[in-house]
A and B are shown apart, each in its own frame.
Chain A
Amino acid sequence: MEYRRPSPRMWLARQTVLGLSSLILLAVLGVAGALLAGGGGAVIGIAVVLAFAITSWFVERGRYRSWGYLERDEDLVVRRGLLFHRLTVVPFGRMQFVDVTAGPVDRLFDLATVQLHTAAAATDARIPGLRSADAAGLRDRLAQLGEARASGL
């Protein structure tokens, strides 16, 4: 079975955030460099910001690509992590509740994060970057499956 991926909009949202913050940083560091050390300073400042932005872009892309989830018959598998790979398997019967959250940036891009909670605090099953409608659908499906397969502690 193929892992399902977050929506490409998530990548768009991440890139937008990265681009905007880089622009602000570019302006700040460029001006600061120019004031402190003239034209050469400005160039150094801009180069630093560009290097930072390019590195972040690759890291973000890797992170975005590493997310994946798989709904199977009995459990949900979530994988993530670029440097530190993590794979979490949560049986549907163990789900205590599911919540859907969306921050301001997420809402702008019509995205949401689905998070599963079990009785174990260490369980970390989070699926970010789903379209709101998909997230609501997944939440309902998970809640239904959780109810059907619920078992006690």
Chain B
Amino acid sequence: MPAASSQAPALSGTWCRLHPFSPVARIGISLGVVLVIGLPTFAGQQTPSGQTVDLVVVCIAAVLVVAAAVVSWLVTRWRVVGDELQIDTGLVYRQSLRFPLRRVQAVDIVAPLTARILGLAEVRIVSAGTGHHQHGHLAYLSNQDAALVRAQLLALAHGLARETPEPPALPLFHVDNGRLITASLLRGPWLGLLLLLAIAAALAAVNPGGPAGSAHRDSAEAVASLVSAAVTGVLALGLDVARTVNGDFDFTVGEAPDGLRLHRGLLQKRHETVPYGRIQAVRLLQPLLWRPFGWARVELDVARQPEARRQGEARQLSHLLAPVATLDQARWLIGRLAPGVPATLTRSGAPPRRAILRAPLAYHYLSMWHDGRWLVTQTGRVRPALVIVPLEKAQSIRLESGPLLRALRLANLRVDTAGRRWVAEALCRDEDEANVLVERLGGLARQARRLSW
């Protein structure tokens, strides 16, 4: 296979450029931006002189974008030496990036639409630590090269021989696309919009068209503004739904010895790895509108979240284990990840009855469970959320009680992890029980840490 062999020298220590088509794939996006901004500008212009100026500006911008992409491709080289990935890039500011492969956390393959058309894909290396250039990007390689490079980098990252093939992933779960679309349409904000429209309809009904009195005009204006607000809301929600469906289309979870494999995307395909050790928390969420259908969402919290947020790609990062699943499927998935953990908490883990005075709505959901490795807590007012935290990941344990809680001899117990999304919260526990729990969980977490090392 000539295409595969074209990158083989880089893997054995010779400097190589990226795929020659990568500028084209990169331009695809930027040129789109230039055209989207540029075209309406001179389409809107009436005077011929203004038109030429804008046309020139757009052309210059386009040429600059093309030149930047080509230069960026020309000056970027990469290779693998020993167990280090080296990327040299930058024309004005030279950058030499070195990624010790043993510290690599994950190797993802991302293929945006333009790259997919050209048969290219980006290999993204996520390493531990919090530097500015924590992530290595190889954009772009041909599809075969990307797969090859990923397999070899993963093998090296696990300290195996370079030629070790990527461990086979056992397909675990596939999300039905029809259900994904239905589920992403079922959102709380729709209810607000319906309310808005109902108010508009009611106003229109109260004041039907008649002689143009001032009251009538006012209500017509109100109806118009309500309707326009509703239309804006529908558009925004529609965009959000489209983005969700686009991002999570054909969602597939696979299980490999070293971590989870996620495949998803409609226009932009993503293949991601989530090593088991990086999972800080798992959450099972049942949104209100999904409950009649018995659907739930399973989410992940990983430690790389904050860094990614700074880079503005938090939305695109894998933080879902299942965008939508039936409760049985969700429980089964959690069982695969955290063996022995009950995905339904019984009332035996509920706080004492007097807690109903402090949390009348949430009381029926509050519950907790733990064993030597996992802590499971459930909270929620209108939608139950189950948070599962591996005790070995516990960063600190907090006990809090306000005046009302203390009067009821209750306390809130929280376990923090390095994930930034959720905290395991066992709310409204009996005071004595909470004091014992702090000690016991602390001890169990210590043991779990020792075992995992």
Contact = CB atoms under 8 A, between A and B. Distances in A.
Contact of B397 (A81, A88, A151): A88
Contacts of A87: 398-400, 438
A123 B395 contact: yes
Nearest to A93: B449
A76 B328 CA distance: 41
A153 B411 CA distance: 28
B355 to A, nearest CB: 17
A124 B128 CA distance: 24
Contacts of B393: 153
Interface stretch (A2-10, A19-27, A114-122, A126-134): A114-122
Given A86-B399, A86-B400, A94-B396, A122 B442 contact: no
Nearest to B418: A119
A145 to B, nearest CB: 13
Contact of B395 (A74, A85, A120): A120
Interface stretch (B238-246, B360-368, B401-409): B401-409
B268 to A, nearest CB: 29
Contacts of A120: 395-396, 416-418, 423
B416 A123 contact: yes
A123 B400 CA distance: 13
A125 B396 contact: yes
A83 B396 contact: no
B445 interface: yes
B310 to A, nearest CB: 14
B140 to A, nearest CB: 31
Nearest to B105: A153
A98 interface: no
B398 A88 contact: yes
Given A91-B446, A118-B396, A151-B453, A85 B416 contact: no
B420 interface: yes
A81, A120, A121, A152: most-surrounded residue (chain B CB, <10 A): A120
B414 interface: yes
A17 to B, nearest CB: 26
A94 B128 CA distance: 16
B406 A90 contact: no
A35 B414 CA distance: 54
Contacts of A75: 442
Interface in B85-138: 128
B199 interface: no
Nearest to B423: A122
A89 interface: yes
Contacts of A124: 398
Given A86-B399, A90-B395, A118-B396, A153 B442 contact: no
A106 to B, nearest CB: 25
A58 interface: no
A28 B280 CA distance: 54
Nearest to B453: A151
B303 A83 contact: no
Interface string A45-71: 000000000000000000000000000
A147 to B, nearest CB: 15
Interface in B406-453: 406, 411, 414, 416-418, 420, 423, 438, 442, 445-446, 449, 453
A69 B442 CA distance: 16
A153 B303 CA distance: 8
A33 B403 CA distance: 36
Contacts of A123: 395-396, 398, 416
A125 B416 CA distance: 12
Nearest to A76: B396
Contact of B446 (A74, A83, A119, A122): A74
Interface of B: 128, 278, 280, 303, 306, 393-403, 406, 411, 414, 416-418, 420, 423, 438, 442, 445-446, 449, 453
Given A91-B442, A118-B396, 9 more contacts: A74-B442, A83-B402, A84-B403, A87-B438, A88-B398, A91-B446, A121-B306, A123-B396, A152-B453
18 contacts: A81-B400, A84-B400, A85-B399, A87-B400, A88-B396, A88-B397, A88-B399, A89-B398, A91-B445, A118-B396, A119-B417, A119-B418, A120-B416, A121-B420, A123-B395, A123-B396, A123-B398, A153-B128
Interface of A: 74-75, 81, 83-91, 93-94, 118-125, 151-153
What 8 A-B pairs have minimum CB-CB distances, sorted nearest first?
Answer: A119-B418, A120-B416, A120-B395, A87-B399, A123-B396, A118-B395, A89-B397, A122-B416
